[in-house]
Structure 1
Amino acid sequence: MADEGDVLTDLNLDSAATGNGADNQPVAGILSQYVKDLSVENPNSPACYQWQSAPNIDLQFNIAAQQINEEVHEVELKVRVSAKVDEGDLYLIELAYAGLIGLRNMPDEHVHAFLYAEAPRLLFPFARRVIADATRDLGFQPLMVDPIDFNGLYLAQLQRRADEEAAAAGDTPPPMGQA
């Protein structure tokens, strides 16, 4: 039986215990998710509702993770959306949507990928809904942010870092046709 306060107790009910009774199967899951911070601005109301120009939407996001204890990390998906037209700013939304992620027996080489690719993928639909509700509540059409390939972005980021490290170390291959 799990110790009281063991936050991952219900994540793996059918886990196979080893011969000595120890549970050593990798387990990961979202324990909780929440809006950590939300800022919604409509600086030019009510005049902005008369503007007819198509808005220019700028969407930016960032991912942060921090360890809470041995088995729990907080992953924070930060989203910033601004909409502007020639006449001025329509709105600005800044959201920090977070989740407590439980990890047990996860190999170290998989933890980083889970926290920066898989966890944001799982949190994103809920952050997307908050953004859509906020734009609707501002009096505009709900902004439905397109799905994001967090795994592809994670792999591209790893490749970019590897390329930068290789270039810094002078390991860049010579241009084609030169030896």
Structure 2
Amino acid sequence: MSDTPTPPDANPQGGAPQDQPSLTVLAQYLKDLSFENPRAPGVYQSNAQPKIDVNVDVQGRALNTNQYEVELSVSARANRDNEEAMFVVEASYAGVFEITGVPREQLEMVMLVECPRLLFPFMRQIVADATRNGNFPPLMLEPIDFMSIYVANAQRRNAEGAQNGAAQNAAPEGQA
């Protein structure tokens, strides 16, 4: 018998304490990948540096109780001197996550911050491989601060909600 007291939140049968937040990756997969090289082979005759625009999107949806699919999408386009694109790469990489013990008001944050944080290194490799296989230098995506994006989007939604609420309150009777 041990003299060490059992913490009040510990599970006496061993394992994880009850109601502790848990995030488990059940599956990861490539949903879509497209690479376009519309100016080949002429694109390889110039050494000018392209301008690369990258867009990132994260979507999440419930599959069933405590299971969610989170999809990380990246689109990158390289242009040089207002010409047609040198290359365009689009990819969607997703995962199925089991999320338990997370308060309902924090679930969206976990899905849109923590889940894509786990998916990002795989997406980064997919984009780098696709551009390298197109005979371009690998496009190494910079690390993404998903928390900052989440906070900025939440602030924007709150500001829009406040503006919409103020507009409805200012509307004449019968027009709200």
How far 1:25 sits from its partner (Å)? 2.8
3-state SS in 1 of match to 2:32: strand
Q: Which residue of 94, 100, 116 corresponds with 2:96?
A: 100
RMSD value over aligned CA atoms? Answer: 1.5
Structure 1: tracts of 5 or more residues without a match:
1-12, 17-22, 172-179
- How does 1:135-174 map onto structure 2 within 5 Å? 135-170=131-166
**Paired position in structure 2 for 1:79:** 74
Deviation digits for residues 97-155 of structure 1, max 9, x if unmatched?
A: 10111112321011100001111111111101110111111001111111110001101
TM-score between both structures, scaled by the size of structure 1: 0.81
* Structure 2 residue 114 is matched with structure 1 residue 118: yes
Computing the radius of gyration from Cα coordinates, the structure with the larger value is 2
Gaps of 5+ in 2: 1-13, 168-176
| Equivalent residue, structure 1, for 2:16 | 15
Report the alpha carbon displacement of residue 72 of structure 1 after superposing the two structures with TM. 0.9
The share of aligned pairs that are identical, in percent, is: 41
Q: What does residue 11 of structure 2 align with?
A: none
Q: TM-score when scaled to structure 2? A: 0.82
Hey, which bits of structure 1, 4+ residues long, moved more than 2 A? 23-26
Question: What is the rounded CA distance, in whole Å, between the counterparts of 1:58 and 1:24 in structure 2?
Answer: 43
